[in-house]
Amino acid sequence: MITKIAWKNIWFKPLNTALSIILLTASVAIITLLILLEQQFEKKFNDNIDGVDMVLGAQGSPLQLILSSVYQVDAPTGNIDYTEAKKWMHHPFVKSAIPLAFGDNYRGFRIVGTTPEYLSKYGATVSNGKVFIKDFEVVVGSEIAKKMGIKVGDKFFGSHGDAEEGEVHDSHSYIVTGIASPTGKVVDNLILCNIQSVWAMHDHEHEEGAEEEHDHAHEAVADTHDHHDHAEEVHNHDHEAHTDETHSHDHDGHVGETHDHDHEEATVVNEEGKEITAVLLKFRNKNAIFMWPRIIAQNTKMQAALPGIEINRLFTLFGIGLNALQYLAYGIMLISGISIFIALFNTLKDRKYEFALLRVNGASRLQLLSLVLIESLLLCITGYVFGTIVGRIALVFISGSSEDEFKMSFNPFEFVWEKEGYLFLLTIFVGILAAVIPAVKAYSLNISKTLANA
Q: Which amino acid is at 346?
A: N
**Nearest Cα to 292, choosing from 50, 57, 45?**
57
Angle at the Cα of 403 from the Cα atoms of 397 and 405, rounded to 5 degrees: 105
Distances (CA, A) of 318 to 45, 118, 311: 13, 29, 10
Q: How many residues does the chain have?
A: 454
Assign residue 51 a region (left: φ > 0; alpha: ψ between -120 and 50; beta: otherwise).
left
d(CA 297, CA 304): 7
Upper half-sphere CA count for residue 122 (Cβ side, 13 Å): 29
**Nearest Cα to 68, choosing from 262, 285, 310?**
310
pLDDT along the chain (454 residues), means of 10: 76 84 93 91 87 94 94 91 94 94 89 95 93 94 93 91 72 92 93 93 56 44 41 39 38 35 48 89 88 92 93 84 87 90 79 74 81 89 95 92 78 91 94 88 74 64
What's the confidence (pLDDT) of residue 276?
95
d(CA 322, CA 320): 6
**Nearest Cα to 140, choosing from 163, 91, 174, 170?**
174
CB 167 within 8 A of CB 130: no
Using CB atoms within 10 A of its CB, is residue 5 exposed (0-12), middle (13-18) or buried (19+)? middle
What's the confidence (pLDDT) of residue 281?
96
Q: Is the dihedral of CA 175, 176, 178, 180 positive or negative?
A: positive
DSSP code per residue over 65-128 = HHHHHTS--S-----EEHHHHHHHHT-TTEEEEEEEEEEEEETTEEEEEE-THHHHHTT--EEE
CB 375 within 8 A of CB 435: yes
Q: Looking at residue 188, what DSSP letter applies?
A: G
Tell me the per-residue pLDDT of 120-148, one tens digit each, with 9 for 90 and over.
999 999 999 999 999 999 999 999 999 99
d(CA 345, CA 442): 10
CB 148 within 8 A of CB 217: no
d(CA 128, CA 153): 11
What's the confidence (pLDDT) of residue 269?
58
CB 36 within 8 A of CB 410: yes
> β-strand 137-140 against 174-180: which pairing, if any?
parallel
> β-strand 126-129 against 275-276: which pairing, if any?
unpaired
d(CA 318, CA 329): 17
Helix (H), strand (E) at residue 240: helix 232-261
